Structure 1
Amino acid sequence: MAEETVVEKTWCGILNRLPGSRRGEPAVIEAAYTEPRLRALFPFPSHGALTFHRNTEFPWSNDLPFIVGDVRACTVYAPLRASKRVLGESLTPQEAAALVVAHLPDDCGPAFEGPWPHRGTLTD
């Protein structure tokens, strides 16, 4: 049996609310986890947002769309330097997760372990 990756361990900790794991909106986290492409990325819940990263250690990639919201309504935002900031509003958690997937770059594969190698070079 293969050893769990950092991404898998992080998702497991968040979903199961294990001690030491970050906390986020359960409905949003569960909806994101059902999407295979998001499940392959590093999840980072903080301050009402669920961000996704291509890597597992700071500095983060910060170049992917993210979700802000709860079970009642979510907003999906483009990466910080994108020209159009809001990609969708008043969405269910499932709709928000699907919208993030629809806006992932084609080359966005599974997260790799370690810091983001392109520090300071965000693309739109």
Structure 2
Amino acid sequence: MAEETLLERTWREIVDRLPGARRGEPAVIAAAYAEPRLRALFPFPSHGALTFHRNTEFPWSNDLPFIVGDVQACTVYAPLHASKRVLGESLTPQEAAALVVAHLPDNCGPAFEGPWPRRGNLTD
């Protein structure tokens, strides 16, 4: 059996709500995990938001859409540098996850282990 990667372990710990794992809205976590393209990214729940990153260690990529909300209603936000900040609101967790997937760059994922490279070092 192959050894679990940091990405796989992080998702498992968050989904299973294991002690020591970051906490997020369970419905949002489950909806994101159900999307294969999001499951290939590093999840980071914090302060009511679920962000996704192309890497597994700080500093984070911070260049992907993210979800804020709960089982009642979610909002999907574009990355901070985008001109249009809100991509969708009053969404179910499943709709929010699908909207994030729809706005991912084509060359996005899977997340690599390590910190995000500085802008001048990106090759994609």
What is the CA distance between 1:12 and its match in structure 2? 0.4
- The residue aligned with 1:80 is 80
Residue segments in structure 1 that go unaligned for 5+ positions in a row: none
- CA shift in 2, pair 1:120/1:93, >3 Å: farther
Residue 109 of structure 1 and its aligned partner are, at CA, apart by 1.6
Shift, 1:118, TM fit: 2.4
Q: Which amino acid aligns with 1:37?
A: R
Within 2, Cα distance between the matches of 1:119 and 1:4?
29
SS across alignment from 1:101: helix
Deviations 1:58-82 (A, max 9, x none): 0000000000000000000000110
Map of 2:47 onto structure 1: 47
Alignment coverage as a number of residue pairs: 121
1:103 aligns with 2:80: no
Instruction: Give me the CA root mean square deviation.
Output: 1.3
State the secondary structure of the residue aligned to 1:52: strand
1:26-57 Cα offsets, whole Å, 9 max, x none, are 00000000000000000000000000000000
Q: State the match for 1:33 in structure 2.
A: 33
Corresponding residue of 1:6:
6
Spell out structure 1 runs of 4+ moving beyond 3 A: none
What TM-score results when the alignment is normalised by the length of structure 1? 0.95
- Kept in 2, the 8 Å contact 1:52–1:64? The answer is yes
Is the contact between residue 76 and residue 100 of structure 1 (CA under 8 Å) also seen in structure 2? yes
What is the CA–CA distance in structure 1 between the aligned matches of 2:105 and 2:86, rounded to whole Å? 17
Q: Structure 2 stretches of 5 or more lacking a match?
A: none
TM-score normalized by structure 2?
A: 0.95
Cα shift at 1:119: 5.4
